[in-house]
Amino acid sequence: MPVNLAAPDPASLHPVAGVSLGIASAGIKKPGRRDITLIELAAGSKVAGVFTQNRFCAAPVTVCRQHLESGSIRALVINTGNANAGTGEEGIRRARQTCAAVAKMFGIAAEQVLPFSTGVILEPLPVDKILPALPAAKTDLSASHWSEAAHAIMTTDIVAKAASVQTRIGGRTVTVTGIAKGSGMIHPNMATMLGYVATDAAVSQAVLSQMVKEVADVSFNCVTVDGDTSTNDSFILIATGQAGNAEIADAASADCAALKAALSEVSIKLAQAMARDGEGATKFMTVQIERGRDHAECKQIAYAIARSPLVKTAFFASDPNLGRILAAIGYAGVMDLDVNAIQVYLGEVLVAEKGGRAASYTEAQGAAVMKEAEITIRVILNRGDANATVWTCDFSYDYVKINAEYRT
C-alpha cells in the first residue's frame, strides 16, 4: 500500500477559474474504465511544458512540442491504457487525428490542442475507441472535476494524486491546483509521469516558460522510483489569467517569487506522492546530500543511492546493510571525492565517518530506524555549500509482480 498517502478530498481541490475538466470511458484497456480526460482552457490562457528526454519519446510528446510552439492552447486530451509510443509516423497521425476531433468539438484549430497518452508501449493508439468517447467527456466538463480527472489518468497508481493551495498575490487571491499520475518507470529527466498544474494568476508567457523548468527541477526532477525514464513524461503549467492580479512579467519580482512558491508547493506534493505510491512501495525515503561542491554532484550522489536496487531492497527488508549506501556514494562518479571527510546519517543516527563505520554506531540503532515507514538518509560531503534532495521508495516483492503482470 502507498506510504502515508491517501486519496485527496475532492472538497480540498479548489477550482481554477478558466479551467474545466471532463471524464469519459473509452474502454481502451478495460471495459467501463474512465480513461479519457478532456481539459478546456479559457481564451487567453498561457501554457508551458517540459517533457521526457528519452530519445524514444512518444508520439503525443512530439505533437505537444510542435503545438506549444504555435501558442494559444485551448484544450488538452489525455488517454490512459495506451502510450502511443514506439508507433512511428502512424502514431503521430493518430495523435493529430485525436487533436482534430477535439478541435472540431470546440471550434478551434487542431494546433490549439495538446494530446497526452500513458499506458502500454509499442501498440497503436485505438482512435476508434477514443474519438467516440470525446463528446461524453465534453458533456462532463466542470470546473470541480479535479478529483475525477486525477482518478481517470491513473495507470498502475493505487492512489489518485492531486493538490491545491491558495495564496495572495498583488492583493488578489490566487489559486493553484494540480493532478499527476505515476508510480513506476519513474526517473528524471523526467519520469512515467503526467502532471498538470493550473493557476488563475496572470503571468507572461516568457515567465511561465521559465517557471515550468524551475518548478520541475525542485519537484518532478527530484523523484526516482526505479531509475527508468519513460517515453511519455510531460509536465504542463497552465495560467488562465483570471485572478485579476497585474500580469507577472518580471521573473525577479516578489509576485513572481510568490507564484513560483505556490506552484512548487503543489508540484512537490504531487512528486512526493509518486514515490509514496511507487509500485509495491512500503517505505518512503528522502536522500539528502549536504555540503557538496556544487548542486550537480550532490544530485549525482543522491540518485546513485536512491536508484540502487541493493539499497532499496535492504530498506524493504528493514535490514541495516548500510555498506550498500557507501558503495553507491563511491560509484556515483564524483572522482575526487574524499571518503574520509564524509559523514553518513540514517535518520539521526551517525552511521559512517572517517572512511568507515562510526565508533558510536550499533546495528540495533540502524534496525530501529529501518523499521520506520519514512526514512531520511543524510550524506554530508564536507567539501562545499551545495545541497540536493531526492525522494524515492523501496523495492518490494510486489514491484516485480506488478511489472511482470503489467500487460495482463
Task: Pick the closest to residue 60 from 28, 38, 107, 93 (CA basis).
Answer: 93
Catalytic, 192? Answer: yes
* Given the residues 52, 177, 192, 224, the one annotated as active site: 192
Residue 49 backbone phi and psi in degrees, to 5:
-150, 160
- Distance between CA 365 and CA 193 in Å, rounded? 36
C-alpha span between 286 and 35 (Å, rounded): 32
The grid cell for 117 is: 497518452
The grid coordinates of residue 277 equal 505510491
CA distance 274 to 376: 17
| Count of other CB atoms within 10 angstroms of residue 119 | 22
Q: Within 13 A of 58's CA, how many CA atoms are on the CB side?
A: 33
Q: 84 near 91, Cβ under 8 Å? A: yes
Measured in degrees and rounded to the nearest 5, phi and psi for residue 219 equal -135, -85
Written as one string, the DSSP assignment of 26-59 is --SSSTT-EEEEEEEE-TT-EEEEEE---TT--H
- Kindly list the catalytic residues: 192
